[in-house]
Structure 1
Amino acid sequence: MRGTPDGHPELAVAWALHALDPQDDAEFAEHLAACEACRRIVAETEGVGALLGAASEPAEPPPSLRARILEAAEAEAAPDDSGASLSSRGTDAPSSNVVPLRRRRRIVAGLAVAAAAALVVVIGGLVNANRDLAQERDAAAAQADRGRQVVELVDAAARPGTPHAVLASTGGGFVGLVVDRGAGPEFLATGLPPNDGAHTYVLWGLAGGRPVGLQAFDMSGSGPVTASVPSMSADRRFAGFAVSYEPGRTVPATPTQVVASGQLAG
Structure 2
Amino acid sequence: MEHQLPPEGDWRTWVILGGRGAGKTRAGAEWVRAQVEGALPLGEGACKRLALIGETVEQVREVMVFGESGIMACSPPDRRPEWQATRKRLVWPNGAVAQVFSAHEPEGLRGPQFDGAWVDELAKWKKARETWDMLQFGLRLGEAPQVCVTTTPRNVGVVKDILASDSTVVTSAPTEANAANLAQGFLEEVRARYAGTRLGRQELEGVLVDATEDALWTPVMLEAGRVEAVPDLDRIVVAIDPP
Task: Confirm or deny a common fold (TM above 0.5).
Answer: no
Bucket of the pairwise TM-score, normalised by the shorter protein: under 0.3
Of structures 1 and 2, the one scoring higher in RCO (CA 8 A, sep 6+) is: 2
Q: Which has the larger radius of gyration?
A: 1
TM, length-normalised to structure 1: 0.19
